[in-house]
């Protein structure tokens, strides 16, 4: 399994209301991170503070400037330390990574999914 290359596929795929925040996340944002909480409506996340409409992308997903035009586009999370629970848990399993075309997964992982899951669990242990 490769390290995350910051391709942004997961954030792009789920950043339009496909993820949820825990009650604890929302309460914490309301008190300590109002700049995040302004995107919450009725305990659902990523709504425009101006229009109340569901956003089509996470408002905190930022494209990193490229050094060279030939480099792959990379993304970063502006609220990484305060990101929602769903984001902290992702990816949770190999099937999910395959479904979402995660660039971390390699052919060897597909051939040995149980071993790959153990590697993934170890990689994600600091995040979960």
- Which tens digits make up the pLDDT trace of 55-85? 999 999 999 987 677 788 999 999 999 999 9
Q: What SS3 state is found at 77? A: strand
pLDDT above 90 covers what percent of the chain?
Answer: 79
Whether residue 116 has pLDDT greater than 70: yes
Domain assignment present for residue 56? The answer is yes
Its pTM stands at 0.85
Domain assignment present for residue 2? The answer is no
The tens digit of pLDDT for each residue in 7-35 reads 999 999 998 888 999 999 999 999 999 99
Domain assignment present for residue 116? The answer is yes
Domain assignment present for residue 35? The answer is yes
Domain assignment present for residue 4? The answer is no
Domain hosting 61: range is 9-123
Band of pLDDT at residue 124, cut at 50, 70 and 90: confident
Domain assignment present for residue 45? The answer is yes
Q: What span, in angstroms and rounded, lies between the C-alpha atoms of 96 and 98?
A: 5
Q: What span, in angstroms and rounded, lies between the C-alpha atoms of 49 and 91?
A: 29
Domain assignment present for residue 37? The answer is yes
Comparing CA positions, the residue from 74, 46, 50, 49 lying closest to residue 59 is 46
Q: How many C-beta neighbours within 10 Å does residue 30 have?
A: 13
Domain assignment present for residue 74? The answer is yes
Mean pLDDT, range 88-111, rounded to an integer? 93
Mean residue pLDDT of the chain comes to: 92
Domain count along the chain: 1
């Amino acid at each position: 399994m490769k390290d995350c290359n910051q391709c942004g596929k997961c954030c792009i795929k789920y950043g339009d209301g496909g993820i949820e925040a825990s009650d604890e996340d929302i309460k914490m944002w309301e008190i300590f991170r109002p700049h995040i909480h302004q995107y919450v409506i009725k305990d659902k996340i990523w709504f425009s503070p101006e229009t109340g409409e569901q956003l089509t992308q996470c408002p905190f997903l930022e494209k990193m400037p490229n050094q060279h035009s030939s480099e792959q586009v990379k993304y970063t999370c502006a609220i990484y330390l305060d990101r929602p629970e769903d984001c902290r848990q992702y990816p949770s399993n190999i099937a999910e990574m395959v479904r979402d075309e995660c660039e971390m997964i390699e052919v060897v992982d597909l051939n040995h999914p149980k071993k790959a899951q153990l590697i993934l669990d170890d990689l994600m242990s600091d995040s979960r």
